[in-house]
Amino acid sequence: DIQMTQSPSSLSAFVGDRVTITCRASQPINIYLSWYQKKSGQAPKLLIHGASSLVSGVPSRFSGGGSGTDFTLTINGLQPDDFATYYCQQSYSVLYTFGQGTRLDSK
C-alpha cells in the first residue's frame, strides 16, 4: 500500500498566522490527494480534493498544492475554528491510505 507521511506531526500557531503542512507519498500519486480536517468527536471534513480543488463551502484561506509525491496544505490567516488535526489521503491507488495527521493547536 502507498505510504503517506505528513510533517510536522504537530505545530503551534497564533490566530492570523500562515501555516503550511506537507504530505509526501511513497510513490507518485498524480494529483489524487485529499485533505481533511478532524476535530475531536466529529467526523472528518473534506477540505480539498484533487490536490488543489477547494470543496464548496470551505473558506478560501485554505489552499492546497503539489503533484506527484509532494503536497502542501496552507492556511492563510488562521482562525480560531481552524485549530484541529489535518490528514492527507491518497486515492491514486484503490487501496486508500491516510497520512498520520498533523495536530494544529493554538500558541
Positions that interact with other proteins (CB under 8 A):
1, 32, 34, 36, 38, 42-46, 48-50, 53, 55, 87, 89, 91-92, 94-101
β-strand partners of 38 = 85
At closest approach, how far in Å is the CB of 43 from other proteins?
4
For residues 24 and 45, which CB has a smaller minimum distance to other proteins in the complex?
Answer: 45
At closest approach, how far in Å is the CB of 4 from other proteins?
10
At closest approach, how far in Å is the CB of 15 from other proteins?
26
Those residues whose C-beta lies under 8 Å from the C-beta of residue 12, and which sit 6 or more positions away, are 104, 105, 106, 107
User: Phi and psi of 42, rounded to 5°?
Assistant: -120, 160
Q: How far apart are CA 59 and CA 47, in angstroms?
A: 9
